[in-house]
Amino acid sequence: MSPVLSLTWVLLGIALLVVLNLKYKFHNIFSLLIAGVLVAILEGIPLDKIVSTVQQGIGSIMGHLALIIIFGAVIGKFMTESGASQQIADTVIRRCGTRYLSVGLMFIGVIFGIAMFYEVAFLIAMPLVMNIAKKANIPYMKLVIPTVVGATMGHSLFPPQPGPVALISAFNADIAQVYLYGVLVIIPALFCAGILLPKFLPGIKNIPLNSMIKPVAELDPQSLPSFKTSIMVPLIPAILMILASIIKPLASKGTLLTQLCDFLGSAEISMLIATCTAIWFLGIRRGMTADAVTNNVSLSISQIANVLFVISAGGILKQVIIDSDVGDSIVHVMSSVPFSPFVIAWLITAVIRILTGQGAVAAITSAGIVAPMVGAFHLNPALMVLAVACGSNTITLMYDGGFLLFKETFGISMKDTFKTWGLLELINSVVGLGMVLLLSLWIH
């Protein structure tokens, strides 16, 4: 099959996915399954192999990300119930003062975005931001934008969030490099989207607030966990992953130290340690009963079940693309295109994100398409992770979950949503890509 025809079938599958979602209101799980099976048939995968491809696609994602997503939901629940999230917000704002309020809120957004699933981080942070805006007498959207910018970038770029973890696995990237280069990528993006955009966005002071959202009922400051404990819990996975990546190359291969680094530095075990730490320090040590702990864990898991299965279903199309060698066909086609492979990877991911409205699904699907480019063009895998991650965090349309969450939370118009959410996402994504291209001049 010609590379162009092979690519055409993938695009047809994505188009079907969009039509099923938007016109016929199919659930994402069924849309992804139907689109994946159609592409598999058109790509010439034997009928007796399609079921195993579907199983492998779901299993590869479910097996790799299920525990990470569940642990993230549990950590978020205990941070909310204990007041740890409030402690982080109060401490950062107190240290930053009014002048650097936006910077402090971006920091909070990044921490929440790394530690929790995006929707959870958003819904926890926004009532806190409303409180702060009211106390400081600042137009609420001037503080909402920096917080959301931090949360979206933290969630999209850094492990242990599902998208980055899947990309690191697909490209065999070094986690420490992803964190290191990710910091270099995120800082200019945060500055442009979180600091400059609110300053120059026309009409930002007059965007009405018509939502049902209310400033959060704050807990007694004396009853909150300490700032050190509150900030330690969400950062445990990042610390363990980075330490393991630094220590492992210094140890001899096959030694106990190397094995320990592989064990503790894995996303699953580091998240398990963080979850147990959250349950102990933010739950049991604060007087939470065993029944209450169990109920909180069960509730947090039930709330993300749909998200978990949708992301896993995204693995179907990815596996079809891998099994049918579409990625190799795209490398063949793109080898004659006068663009950087990072730009091509970003464009592919951004288009899938815009069409499907799912950031993690876009990253996972794109990984199957662009993975062969890493070896073919001798690219740095960590930079490819970041390029695709930036593409999964781009401007979205009115059927995207993040778009609707932002719009309905504040009860603003479609125009104002595009002007705020749409612009901040686009700036995040483009500036992030620009930094990846800049880094690629020195890093190979």
- Concatenated DSSP letters of 117-176: -HHHHHHHHHHHHHHHHHHHT--HHHHHHHHHHHHHHHHHHSTTSHHHHHHHHHHT--HH
Q: What residue segments make up the domains of the chain, in order of their start? A: 3-441
| Total number of residues shown for the chain | 444
User: Other CB atoms closer than 10 Å to residue 378's CB: what's the count?
Assistant: 9
Closest CA to 73 of 108, 109, 107, 115: 115
Closest CA to 157 of 363, 400, 333, 389: 389
Give the integer Cα–Cα distance in Å for 421 and 423: 6
Structure tokens at 368: 């199957």
pTM of the prediction? 0.75
pLDDT by 10s per residue, the chain, length 444: 677 787 788 888 878 877 887 688 888 788 889 988 998 999 889 999 999 999 988 887 787 678 887 888 888 789 878 888 788 878 877 888 778 889 989 988 998 888 777 777 787 778 778 777 877 788 889 999 999 999 999 999 998 888 898 899 889 999 889 999 999 999 999 999 999 999 998 888 888 877 655 555 667 888 899 999 988 888 888 888 888 878 887 877 778 888 998 899 888 898 899 999 999 999 999 999 999 999 999 998 887 787 778 778 877 877 887 787 776 666 666 666 678 889 999 988 888 787 666 778 788 888 888 888 888 888 999 999 999 999 998 877 665 667 767 887 788 887 888 899 999 999 999 999 999 999 999 987
Give the integer Cα–Cα distance in Å for 293 and 282: 10
Q: At 123, which amino acid appears?
A: L
Give me the pLDDT at residue 400, please.
66
Q: Are 85 and 112 in contact (CB under 8 A)?
A: yes
Give me the pLDDT at residue 93, please.
78
Give me the pLDDT at residue 213, please.
56
Give me the pLDDT at residue 90, please.
82
Give me the pLDDT at residue 328, please.
66
Give me the pLDDT at residue 316, please.
83
